[in-house]
Structure 1
Amino acid sequence: MQEDYNELFWFTVVARERSFTRAAALLGVSQSTISNAVKRLEERLGLRLLIRTTRSVSTTEVGEKFLSAIRPRLDDINDDIADLMRYRDRPFGTVRINLSDYALESVVWPKLRGVLREYPDVNVELHCDNGISDIIEERFDAGIRLGERLDKDMIAVKIGENWRLVVVGSPQYFEQNPIPSTPQDLATHNCINTRQHSAGGLYAWEFEKDGRDVRVRVNGQLTINHPASMIDAVMLGYGLAYLPESFVSDRIKNGDLIQVLDDWCPLFEGYCLYYPNRRQNNPALSLIVDALRIK
């Protein structure tokens, strides 16, 4: 039986995304093209691979077995092609990276801008996710996380200096509320929370002093996962926030924000880019790694 490898690959994307619409957007082809291709595959095999409803798409039992059988083989083909691309004069291809919004804004994007202009055949997909994703399961080429949170059995390259979060509030807020002297004092303050996507819970603010670690679950009216919006809320006096120091250092210097609990705010290990060993021969990924690594 002669197989159409596009059909096989498109089926794996639909199965992973559980949506023809999302698969079409990722692949850059029409939804009807993918749907017809999967139907042809099912007809040729004489098997029903997907269950389609108006709201979602899922694999049948045999579809899941088929997916488990072909996905490793397709991965091997992609890896072999990527290995052959080392012989091209210039890197090309798509690199998918999972990272946090802070890593994107503070480390990755400033370093990548020039690289993308110089190498127009290299495409980069940056997927912001403040949780901790399985980059292999979700078919990313690489992930970027703090060094202390890296997956095991990965090649890791440090791309960012150590950094820290700081507690800030506006002068307007502190005109009506006392300045906290210990992390426990935050329990009486209106604080702006951040929700962790992977765990679903609110981030517990982490502090350290003289070898003593303290985690505080704060309360407040707002929960925001977007740093710029959080800074705006703090500036308007809606409460205290725990933000990367580089995002607010200028506002602290000019007096727009007041930093508190400075001696309780620890340094975190800098960001690392990590990827599976089998991806190390991907020339486009190697280009990105070299651009991001600390020189």
Structure 2
Amino acid sequence: MDRRDIADLLVFQAIVEAGSFTRAASVMGRAQSGLSQTISALEARLGVPLLARSTRSVRPTEAGRRLLDRITPSLRQIESGLLELQDSRDQPSGTLRLTVMEYPARAILVPALSEFLASHPGVRVDIHVSDRFVDIVQGGFDAGIRFGAHLEKDMVAVPLGPDVSAAIVAAPAYFRRKGRPVRLEDLAAHGCINFRTASHGDVYRWMFRDGARTVDVPVEGAVIVNDAPVMIEAALAGLGLAYIFEPHVAGHLASGRLETCLETFCPVWSGYHLYYPSRHQKSAALAALVEHLRYRRHA
């Protein structure tokens, strides 16, 4: 089939339904001469006349009537599909595939979903939880949630919360046993719970703010983990100092089960962001989720 055929068949159908080139041109918003040329070209490609023309009206030939009977159901389906596509563009619907780090999945995304899904019953959310960096385009995801500092420059990034501070934490029993470090050099005398990153598999070097400088400090300890919740449990068990983002342990700090140290050296990082490719047009469902989750600093 010639790629022009479907468009030309729609013109043919419109002319038959209107009963004249003039009325069809008015309905379609096109020039009458253009419609006439379209039909002539279609008839030439098919090798048969499709319309019998008079000065006042047109009617399908026998071949045109048989063709119209065969194509009308399919053309209706195409028209219906296009209308559904236009509706879905304007009305949030369909499945959103998201890649999300473990903490914001629990603390930000899931708590917000009840209200969001109630407001948009046509939307489904497929959540892939991973702290490993994921290429959202290659992975077939609509969007992701990560720290703002970790995002590629060609991504649109929408803040989901304030900036976050790092924190060095330990159980009160650990501080009673080992003392509380007050300088970065003091870390050498402490057992530290190291963290192996998901993306590269290397042990994270603790980063600090020392005046105007940013310094990274290698630390030693008997425990290495690759999971933040397990690292928190290790700190609660008194196994050593842990380097963690403060929101992850806010509840334990409030209850006194964990305490902080070296506060003046802990850096502040760009918080969690929802991100998606700048070169892709947002679906209505993604646009709705962005607005639902967007952090409003002065709300």
Q: Same fold (TM over 0.5)?
A: yes
| Equivalent residue, structure 2, for 1:145 | 146
Q: For residues 87 and 140 of structure 1, what CA distance do their matches in structure 2 show? A: 18
- Deviation digits for residues 133-153 of structure 1 (CA, Å, limit 9, x no counterpart): 211111111122222221122
Q: For residues 260 and 162 of structure 1, what CA distance do their matches in structure 2 show? A: 20
- Deviation digits for residues 249-284 of structure 1 (CA, Å, limit 9, x no counterpart): 343244322210011111111222111234433111
User: Displacement, 1:292?
Assistant: 1.1
- Deviation digits for residues 12-35 of structure 1 (CA, Å, limit 9, x no counterpart): xxxxxxxxxxxxxxxxxxxxxxxx
Q: For residues 235 and 196 of structure 2, what CA distance do their matches in structure 1 show? A: 17
* 1:264 alignment partner AA: F
* 2:97 alignment partner AA: R
- Deviation digits for residues 101-127 of structure 1 (CA, Å, limit 9, x no counterpart): 122233222222321233233121222
User: Displacement, 1:241?
Assistant: 0.8
**For residues 241-252 of structure 1, what are the structure 2 equivalents within 5 Å?**
241-252=242-253
Q: For residues 138 and 87 of structure 1, what CA distance do their matches in structure 2 show? A: 23
| Equivalent residue, structure 1, for 2:234 | 233
Q: For residues 185 and 225 of structure 2, what CA distance do their matches in structure 1 show? A: 22
Aligned residues: 217
User: Aligned with 2:224: secondary structure?
Assistant: coil
TM-score, structure 1 as length reference? 0.66
Q: For residues 169 and 248 of structure 2, what CA distance do their matches in structure 1 show? A: 11
| Equivalent residue, structure 1, for 2:257 | 256
- Structure 2 segments unaligned to the other structure (5+ residues): 2-80
1:125 corresponds to 2:126 = yes
Q: For residues 87 and 164 of structure 2, what CA distance do their matches in structure 1 show? A: 35
Q: For residues 232 and 187 of structure 2, what CA distance do their matches in structure 1 show? A: 18
Identity %: 39
Q: For residues 85 and 190 of structure 1, what CA distance do their matches in structure 2 show? A: 60
Alpha-carbon spacing, 1:107–1:184, altered in 2? closer, same or farther (3 Å): farther
Bigger Rg, structure 1 or 2: 2
* 2:123 alignment partner AA: V
1:223 corresponds to 2:224 = yes
Q: In the alignment, is the contact (CA less than 8 A) between 2:210 and 2:265 conserved in 1? A: yes
User: Aligned with 2:99: secondary structure?
Assistant: strand
- Structure 1 segments unaligned to the other structure (5+ residues): 2-79
Q: For residues 223 and 114 of structure 2, what CA distance do their matches in structure 1 show? A: 33
Alpha-carbon spacing, 1:87–1:93, altered in 2? closer, same or farther (3 Å): closer
User: Displacement, 1:175?
Assistant: 2.2
User: Displacement, 1:132?
Assistant: 2.1
| Equivalent residue, structure 1, for 2:112 | 111
Alpha-carbon spacing, 1:186–1:153, altered in 2? closer, same or farther (3 Å): same
Q: In the alignment, is the contact (CA less than 8 A) between 2:195 and 2:231 conserved in 1? A: no
User: Aligned with 1:192: secondary structure?
Assistant: strand
| Equivalent residue, structure 1, for 2:275 | 274
User: Aligned with 2:104: secondary structure?
Assistant: helix
Q: For residues 128 and 134 of structure 1, what CA distance do their matches in structure 2 show? A: 14
User: Displacement, 1:224?
Assistant: 2.7
Q: For residues 135 and 151 of structure 2, what CA distance do their matches in structure 1 show? A: 11
